[in-house]
């Protein structure tokens, strides 16, 4: 009985204990899950704050992703080009990407402005104009690119091969961005090769062209204001159409005058102009130089 009582008591205790646990278990569980929830929330908050910190931090390492000055300027340049085209129906569609041209401007100021001057207008006896409108409307991309890359041996135009393809392309874009006349590059390239007589051409060349371009077309070295049109640096990179068009039209605002038409310095016929080209194609400049060396 005692045992029974004791048993009962213990049983009761166990029962009560059990009931206690039964009562307290859910509370503890709630408490624990509350703690876990809190921890999870805290961790999540920490994680979140970490993320927000990272997000807030992002701009500093990825400032590159934020538009920098050059990019902002590039967008402005592109917008300006588009609005120019929209507002002026006669505006010439740029030969090239205005943003690339903007990059080229910096390179131009670093490498070329010393000789070719601001806006590449050139200076007689120092360097020719590169933004002349007749020139730009007929100068092919590869002529500009190759001339910049190789320079013109035996003249003041140095090679810029070290700049690499991308930068030279940007320079070409910068120059071509100055074009206000529609391109005639294809038509000029398609012109036939000269059928002239070099012996007759020599007479004209010596009488007219040598005054500025030097005997044999040696250029500034001869003391004139005309470029080295008798040297391979120029001749190896141009078509007859390019030379013919330049002689016929001249280059406005430079000392290269027009040689055809009533207002020309000398009204040469197309045949006479071809004779001159035939003579130029014998590369007199190179010969004149080598004979100079022999003396
Ligand atoms: C040290 C002076 C000098 C520098 C610097 C110079 N040039 Fe020239 N450049 C010349 C001269 C001189 C000529 C003409 C050479 C000749 O007589 O044929 C020329 C010719 C040219 C021509 C051919 C123009 C034509 O009428 O056919 C191009 C294109 C040209 N330069 C581009 C550039 C570019 C782009 C740069 C800068 C990356 C540059 N030059 C830097 C002196 C220079
Ligand atoms: C009064 C001076 C003068 C005379 C005369 C003259 N030129 Fe020129 N010519 C120039 C100048 C200056 C340039 C370069 C323009 C510049 O400085 O921007 C030039 C450029 C040229 C070019 C382009 C060369 C290049 O580098 O792209 C050709 C081609 C040319 N002349 C051919 C001739 C021929 C052919 C004659 C003779 C019929 C002739 N010129 C007579 C002054 C002259």
User: Measured from the CB, is residue 113 less than 6 Å from ligand 1?
Assistant: no
Ligand 2 atom, smallest distance to 205 CA: 37
**Local confidence band at 2 (pLDDT 50, 70, 90 cut-offs):** very low
Mean pLDDT value across residues 2-23: 45
Q: What 3-state class would DSSP assign to 169?
A: helix
User: Measured from the CB, is residue 202 less than 6 Å from ligand 1?
Assistant: no
- In CATH terms, the superfamily for domain 191-294 is Cytochrome c-like domain (1.10.760.10)
Give the residue, 48 or 156, on which the prediction is more confident: 156
**Local confidence band at 285 (pLDDT 50, 70, 90 cut-offs):** low
Ligand 1 atom, smallest distance to 160 CA: 38
Percent of the chain with pLDDT over 90: 56
Kindly report, residue by residue over 206-217, the tens digit of the pLDDT. 999 999 999 889
User: Measured from the CB, is residue 169 less than 6 Å from ligand 1?
Assistant: no
The burial of 5, by beta-carbon neighbours within 10 Å (0-12 exposed, 13-18 middle, 19 or more buried), is given as exposed
The mean predicted confidence, pLDDT, of the chain is 81
Instruction: Tell me, in angstroms, the distance from the centre of ligand 2 to residue 212's CA.
Output: 7
**Local confidence band at 86 (pLDDT 50, 70, 90 cut-offs):** confident
Lowest mean pLDDT: which of 2-16, 17-31, 74-88?
2-16
Dihedral sign for Cα atoms in the order 125, 131, 137, 139: positive
pLDDT for the residue numbered 93: 67
pLDDT for the residue numbered 79: 85
User: Measured from the CB, is residue 234 less than 6 Å from ligand 1?
Assistant: yes
Q: Where are the alpha helices (DSSP H) in the chain?
A: 2-57, 69-87, 98-111, 113-116, 133-138, 141-150, 164-176, 185-189, 198-204, 210-213, 232-235, 240-249, 270-280, 284-294
Instruction: Tell me, in angstroms, the distance from the centre of ligand 2 to residue 88's CA.
Output: 33
Mean pLDDT value across residues 74-102: 79
Mean pLDDT value across residues 44-61: 48
Q: Measured between alpha carbons, how far is 6 from 8 in angstroms, rounded to an integer? A: 5
Here the tokens at position 95 are 């030969």
User: Measured from the CB, is residue 219 less than 6 Å from ligand 2?
Assistant: no
**How big is the chain by its Cα radius of gyration, in Å?**
40
User: Measured from the CB, is residue 147 less than 6 Å from ligand 1?
Assistant: yes
The ligand placed nearest to the CA atom of residue 114 is 1
**Local confidence band at 7 (pLDDT 50, 70, 90 cut-offs):** very low
The ligand placed nearest to the CA atom of residue 113 is 1
Please say whether the structural domain 69-185 has been given the CATH code 1.10.20.10: no
Instruction: Tell me, in angstroms, the distance from the centre of ligand 1 to residue 111's CA.
Output: 10
Here the tokens at position 57 are 């931090």
Mean pLDDT value across residues 179-194: 93
Fold: same for 69-185 and 191-294: yes
Query: Any idea where the domains of the chain sit in the sequence?
Result: 69-185, 191-294
Mean pLDDT value across residues 65-75: 74
User: Measured from the CB, is residue 257 less than 6 Å from ligand 1?
Assistant: no
User: Measured from the CB, is residue 213 less than 6 Å from ligand 1?
Assistant: no
Q: Is the pLDDT of residue 227 over 90?
A: yes
Kindly report, residue by residue over 233-260, the tens digit of the pLDDT. 999 999 999 999 999 999 999 999 999 9
**Local confidence band at 25 (pLDDT 50, 70, 90 cut-offs):** low
Mean pLDDT value across residues 150-170: 97
Q: Measured between alpha carbons, how far is 82 from 87 in angstroms, rounded to an integer? A: 9
Mean pLDDT value across residues 274-281: 95
């Amino acid at each position: 009985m005692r045992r029974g009582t004791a048993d009962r008591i213990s049983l009761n205790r166990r029962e009560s204990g059990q009931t206690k646990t039964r009562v307290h278990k859910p509370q503890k569980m709630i408490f624990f899950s509350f703690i876990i929830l809190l921890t999870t929330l805290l961790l999540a908050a920490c994680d979140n704050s970490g993320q927000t910190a990272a997000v807030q931090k992002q701009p500093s390492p990825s400032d590159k992703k934020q538009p920098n000055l050059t990019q902002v300027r590039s967008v402005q340049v592109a917008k300006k080009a588009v609005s120019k085209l929209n507002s002026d129906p006669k505006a010439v569609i740029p030969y090239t990407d205005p943003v690339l041209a903007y990059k080229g401007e910096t390179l131009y100021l670093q490498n070329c402005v010393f000789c070719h001057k601001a806006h590449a207008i050139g200076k007689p006896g120092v360097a020719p104009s590169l933004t002349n409108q007749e020139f730009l409307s007929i100068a092919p991309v590869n002529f500009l690119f190759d001339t910049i890359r190789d320079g013109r041996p035996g003249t003041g135009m140095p090679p810029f091969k070290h700049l690499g393809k991308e930068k030279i392309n940007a320079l070409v874009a910068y120059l071509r961005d100055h074009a206000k006349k529609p391109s005639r590059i294809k038509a000029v390239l398609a012109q036939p090769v000269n059928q002239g007589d070099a012996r007759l051409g020599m007479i004209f060349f010596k009488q007219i062209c040598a005054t500025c371009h030097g005997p044999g077309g040696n250029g500034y070295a001869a003391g004139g204001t005309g470029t080295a049109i008798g040297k391979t640096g120029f001749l190896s990179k141009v078509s007859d159409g390019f030379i013919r068009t330049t002689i016929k039209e001249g280059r406005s605002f430079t000392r290269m005058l027009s040689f055809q038409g009533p207002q020309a310095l000398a009204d040469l016929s197309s045949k006479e102009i071809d004779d001159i080209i035939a003579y130029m194609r014998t590369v007199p400049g190179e010969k004149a130089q080598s004979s100079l060396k022999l003396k």
